[in-house]
Structure 1
Amino acid sequence: MSTSTVSAVSAAPKKSARRKLSVPVILLIIAGALALVSLVRLISGADDLTSVGQVSGALQLAIPIGLAGLGGLWAERAGVVNIGLEGMMILGTWFGAYAGYQWGPWSGVALGILGGALGGLLHAIITVTFGVNHIVSGVAINILAVGVTRYLSNFTFDEAPGGSSKQSPRIDEITKITIPGLSDWLRDIQGKHWFFVSDLAGVLGGLVTNLSLLTIVALLLIPATIWVLWHTAFGLRLRSCGENPVAAESLGVNVYKYKYIAVVVSGGLAGLAGAFLAIVATGIYQEGQTGGRGYIGLAAMIFGNWMPGGMALGAGLFGFTDSLKLRGGAENVHAMLLLLAILLMLVVFWQLYKKKYLPAAISAVAAVLLFVWYSFTDEVPSQFVDAAPYVTTLLVLALSAQRLRMPKANGMPYRKGQGK
């Protein structure tokens, strides 16, 4: 019995390891994507696609999505679906803004994490202890978070100077870092608009210009998560709860405890995402400012196949499209039509190689339509510009759906001793 349970717990991690994106593979993907974007920039003349400002803005917009996705990954690796990420982000924005306004930005970060963690704790109590459906619980937390923050704003921010019932006063900034010589040199190279070299300079320049200290902390959480979940005994036990909790229990793992830890950490990361949005990205709390980023973070996690590296790539993609909308508007999004058409043609070749002719035909038709749209127009409607991040989310999930493998026991009810 003991041999079979050991193999049951360890089989899933080995499977995941085969699907794991290694660092060289991720670097190759980034290099290929950058070359493709550079080609589109040269053809379309949209020189802002990979500018320092564009990349810096994309990073700032990707961080909240990535943190929410990382939170979802922690919960779902332990077998708990966390649709409530959006609500936990909302709690993080409000608590982060309140503490940031009262006692400074780093206090806001700490209280934002606590606010999200409380939302995670509530989700854990409802789903793990009482066995309520995970989706129902998550949706309830999203609704509850909106009501709670709206109620609290009425007698806190409404009475503060410069605040109102729907927004907080201005919050002090967290220190930002720029490497003067390197930043200026990279900006100069990017301004020459050379193929690939200028685009690489723009990307690197965006990573060393106006970089908040909290951004650095958020980026470090990705390798930290990889180390904790995949290179420690604690991480193995936590992931076993999401793959086969009955086998994990038979080996002495306290499944309830690990599920609670995972969901509370998940809420804390979502709360940190909300605090980042209020303190770093905007410098102010506003009602509804999360704008569905918790759901997009969940989409980034799914796109990444429940792995931190892939999730980070997904968050970067969504942040990039969001930044295009905010900075360049119609011109940049129009150039993205050409990029999407080229990507779909690559999908066509891949599907033909796999002998999947129907998906290849559908992708080919979509690619032709995008080519025609790009060729016969100079800009896209403003409504499409606003919808670009969400359209990207749908396309990415549709194209990546066939290669996904979530943890086997994800979302399944569990009761102690049920394997006896």
Structure 2
Amino acid sequence: MTTATVAKPKAQQPVKGGRRLSLPVLLLVIAGVLVLTSVVRMISGANGITSTGQVSTALRLAVPIGLAGLGGLWSERSGVVNIGLEGMMILGTWFGAWAGYQWGPWTGVVFGIIGGALGAVLHAVATITFNVNHIVSGVALNILALGATRYLSKFTFDDVPQGSSKQSPPIESLGSFDIPGLSGAMDTLNQKHWFLVSDLAGLIGGLVTDLSPLTVVAVALVPASWWVLWRTAFGLRLRSCGENPVAAESLGVNVYKYKYLAVIISGGFAGLGGAFLSIVASNVYLDGQTAGRGYIGLAAMIFGNWMPGGLALGAGLFGYTDSLNLRGGTTNVHALILLLAILLVVGTVYLAWRKKYVPAVITAVVSALMFLWYVDTNEVPKQLVSATPYIVTLLVLSLSAQHLRMPKADGLPYRKGQGK
């Protein structure tokens, strides 16, 4: 009598880069960065780096980046790469301003969403129905949107008062508000310049001061997107299309439908970000208004590892660096050089503890150079301040590239029945 030997299934190895920071660890990291920032502020005297005004400006600049990133998240979770976010934002700025000028700002918001969704339909038809390369389709959409809005502006804004072919007339404001009591108390604490307490007050105060209703809506869309994508059957089916569309099809999921829905929702988010720029951020449409924020939003999504929470942190980081440029931040950027040098020291210790000695030595050398730069100068050139958002984008993507996991079928062509 023979006994059959049943092979035990091998445990799956964790995917490299698939591990995520737990919430307590993430909060600890944020607290550590806040403490270091407070130390840097005390040493450098650059009180503006954690002021209420700085954080409030950063939030306003982070919103369109975050909305574009949310658009990329929805699209890429379904397996469609969306380089066309910039073009969808451009359409959102124009349609939002055009409708907002004629029928009021909230109508402009709705039309901005519609404009972005129209651009998304073009991208969806090209990539999902005709299997056009996703990058090629996205770049083509960006060029098309830029040309179309410039052409339309000549016929709509050129002959109206205070308008031109490159600018719309002013649009009625949506208004703004503060959280009663909390806003004033936080601003008072922030102006005391106490260690850590004033920095925390500046952070909280900036999040509750001079808020637009559309800012509140945009912030609420982050947890709403997480809940829909990770806590509903609809979200599970949509994400399965981005991981393994053949398996999803075998379980009865209409892959084409979910991809189309995801890309159109993606365009709506990007269009909302564009409408925010033309209605809230500046209350006029300007040619070239997006200034690459669609691409930065895509970078924020990648930095966030295709997760809403990480995306929000990335958008906040890029919004903060952009705010330094608007608020005359030569002194503030100079202080951030010291913060970066200290963070590199922490990185050196961590790498040495992990016995990665060569990267540790390189990090230590870069940290020493940053310290020398800080000591040798009093403030940085304005050109560097203007380029800070883009430098940070490149640094963040290059440093985080080894710890990312994109959806497995992201950007891959799909045909119904290809698994048979």
TM range (shorter): over 0.9
Shift of 1:25: 4.0
Q: CA deviation at 1:41?
A: 0.8
Counting only pairs closer than 5 Å after superposition, residues 91-106 of structure 1 correspond to structure 2 as 91-106=91-106
Task: Find the aligned partners of 2:29 and 2:37 in 1 and give their Cα distance.
Answer: 12
1:15-414 equivalences in 2 (<5 Å): 19-414=19-414
Identity %: 70
Supply the AA of the counterpart residue of 2:413: P
Shift of 1:29: 3.1
Q: Distance in 2 between matches of 1:174 and 1:15?
A: 46
- Structure 1 spans left out of the alignment, 5+ residues: 1-10
Aligned length: 409
Counterpart code for 1:93: T
Question: How far is the alpha carbon of 1:201 from its aligned partner?
Answer: 0.6
Shift of 1:234: 0.6
Amino acid at match of 2:409: A
CA 1:324–1:52 in 2, change beyond 3 Å: closer, same or farther? same
Contact kept, 8 Å, 2:16 with 2:403, in 1: the verdict is no
Q: Which deviates more, 338-347 or 121-130?
A: 338-347
Mapped to 2, the partners of 1:282 and 1:22 lie a distance apart of 38
Deviations 1:224-280 (A, max 9, x none): 001000001111110011101111111111111111011111111000010011111
Greater alpha carbon shift after TM alignment, 18-27 vs 68-77: 18-27
Distance (Å, rounded) in 2 between the aligned partners of 1:187 and 1:332: 19
1:4 corresponds to: none
Deviations 1:97-152 (A, max 9, x none): 11111111101110000000111111110000000000000000010010000000
The 1:373/1:309 distance shift into structure 2, 3 A limit, reads same
Residue identity opposite 1:72 in structure 2: G
Could you tell me whether the CA contact under 8 Å between 1:26 and 1:309 is conserved in 2?
no
**Higher share in helix:** 1
Cα separation, 1, equivalents of 2:218 and 2:17 = 24
Deviations 1:297-330 (A, max 9, x none): 0110010000000010000000011111211321
- 2:77 maps to amino acid: R
Indicate conservation of the 8 Å contact 1:96/1:279, yes or no.
yes
Q: Which has the larger radius of gyration?
A: 2
**Mean alpha-carbon deviation: is it higher for 172-181 or for 109-118?**
172-181
Q: Is the 8 A contact 2:78 2:410 kept in 1?
A: yes
Q: 1:177: how far off?
A: 1.3
Paired residues of 1:21 and 1:310 also in contact (CA < 8 A): no
Unmatched tracts of structure 2, length 5 or more: 1-11
Q: Secondary structure at the match of 1:177?
A: coil
Residue identity in the other structure for 2:193? H
* Structure 1 residue 179 displacement after superposition: 2.6
TM-score normalised by the chain length of structure 1? 0.94
Shift of 1:20: 4.5
Alpha-carbon displacement from aligned partner over 1:19-71 (angstroms, at most 9, x marks no partner) = 44554444333322221211111111100111110010000000000110111
**CA distance in structure 2 between the partners assigned to 1:272 and 1:20 by the alignment:** 29
Secondary structure of the structure 1 residue equivalent to 2:339? helix
Q: Could you say if the C-alpha distance between residues 112 and 22 of structure 1 is closer, same or farther in structure 2, counting changes exceeding 3 Å?
A: farther
Q: Tell me, what secondary structure is at the counterpart of 1:155?
A: helix
Separation in 1, partners of 2:350, 2:253: 43
* Alignment partners' CA distance in 2, 1:78 and 1:161: 44
AA paired with 2:190?
A: Q
